[in-house]
Amino acid sequence: MRWELNRLAFAITSMVALAFLVPLIYATQKIAHDRAIGDARQQAAAIVAALAVDADPRSLTNAVVSTVAGSTGRLAVHLPDIAPVGTPHATGDEIAQAGQYRRPVTADVPGGIVYLQPSVLSDGRAVVIEVFVPDEDMTEGVWPAWLALGALAVVLVAGSVLFADRLAGRLVRATRELAGSSRRLGAGDLAVRVEPSGPPELRDAATAFNGMAAELRNLLDAERELAADLSHRLRTPLTALRLDAETMPPGPVAERMRQACDMLDEELEAIIAGARLGVEARGKQQSDLVEVLADRLAFWSALAEDQDRPWEVVGGAHPVPVPLPRSELILAVDSLLGNVFAHTPEGVAFRVTVSPAGLLVDDAGPGIADPEAAVRRGVSGAGSTGLGLDIVRRVAEAAGGRLQVSRGPLGGARIGMLLPPPS
């Protein structure tokens, strides 16, 4: 954009400079020509004055030699019936024509032009004064004037381009800052703001951007508060479930019910706490995928034992940090594991693989016939809400990764939350 503005300023200034330069070039040449003719006219006028005093050829010879043009062989006086006094350059026809018209004329001759000034002697005879003007006299000072005009045009064009570049620099800097802040906002940095600068239009755009960013953050915080409120409302039915579990006879079922209520209460507490964090604080959170997976397998392993599902975990010897809140990772892990229990028969085995590359869940079920439809939000062919895999996709993309749906080594589906390479 900056170079485009510079080229535009260069083109406009160049056209303006040419619009003035071409007439000035013609004018300087015309001035030099008129000056040379004017000098010749003055030389001829001096001889006319000498003829009025004495028309004797010897006196005229002294008068001719006393002039600048005559001393250099460029002036002649054509008297009737005698040879010209001085050095002639014009032809006889040109002399006769000037005497006949009785007015000054010019004629082209080799090496320049001649200025012919007719006059009349006291006895009525016609006389013509000839002044030769060489080509170099008619172009004297033209080239220096042209060079000066060209240099002035170059200075004006360069100055205008430099001035336009300074203005374009301010405009481009303000535009780039606004564009960069927009990209950062789109990437999730809701704390970004723009310092208004540049032309009034860009300052208005920057002010509007700051207002939009502030309003967007307020809207997201309001959504988080609403999610926290909704999660809090779940505690009422949870309390009823806990009371029912306490009244159950002692045994494995009652113990699992109480553990499930405790875990659900902890998860609700984590969801409420995470939802009420500000947008900036949420963006700075980091969780360990291995730790979250271990906590969730404590719940899902009990259900796997009840359904006689063989399962195994591969990896997990080292922490896998993910730049996401713990509640988001829990949601993704539960969606991946819950997908196995929801869409495969009891007794079907599954395998969980965790590494810095992400989390993979393989099962030995029938697989997924249409992976694209399976990840389409709100679409499900198994009677569910159709949100599970879309949740995993959203969490993976929030961490900079992606969702993988394919056929796994166990013969069934492989669903993975792939993470970007560690920086």
| Alpha helices (runs of H) in 139-288, residue ranges in sequence order | 142-186, 200-233, 235-247, 252-275, 279-283
pLDDT at 278: 54
| Cα 421 from chain centre | 30
357's tokens:
């590359």
What is the C-alpha separation between 414 and 368, in angstroms, rounded?
9
Q: Return the closest-CA partner of residue 69 out of 96, 98, 40.
A: 40
Helices (H) and strands (E) in the chain, counts: 14, 12
395's tokens:
């969490």
| Alpha helices (runs of H) in 307-416, residue ranges in sequence order | 326-343, 371-374, 388-398
Return the ∠ at Cα 386 (arms to 380 and 388), rounded to 5°.
130
| Cα 5 from chain centre | 11
| Cα 273 from chain centre | 42
Q: Return the closest-CA partner of residue 142 out of 61, 24, 47.
A: 24
Residue with tokens 């009737």, as numbered in its chain: 80
288's tokens:
């360990």
pLDDT at 277: 59
pLDDT at 394: 87
pTM for the complete prediction? 0.46
pLDDT at 272: 65
Phi, psi (5° rounding) for residue 104? -65, 140
Phi, psi (5° rounding) for residue 413? -85, 150
pLDDT at 385: 44
Structural contact between residues 336 and 361, judged by C-beta atoms closer than 8 angstroms: yes
Structural contact between residues 25 and 149, judged by C-beta atoms closer than 8 angstroms: yes
**Which residues, 6+ apart, have CB-to-CB distance to 131 below 8 Å?**
40, 41, 43, 44, 69, 74, 75, 114, 115, 117
Sign of CA dihedral 337, 226, 390, 181: negative
Q: Return the closest-CA partner of residue 362 out of 400, 315, 303.
A: 315
User: Exposure of 265 by Cβ count < 10 A (0-12 exposed, 13-18 middle, 19+ buried)?
Assistant: middle
Parts of the chain with a pLDDT under 70: 1-3, 5-6, 224-233, 235-236, 268-284, 373-387, 423
pLDDT at 213: 85
User: Exposure of 370 by Cβ count < 10 A (0-12 exposed, 13-18 middle, 19+ buried)?
Assistant: exposed
Structural contact between residues 161 and 6, judged by C-beta atoms closer than 8 angstroms: yes
pLDDT at 352: 96
Return the ∠ at Cα 54 (arms to 49 and 56), rounded to 5°.
125
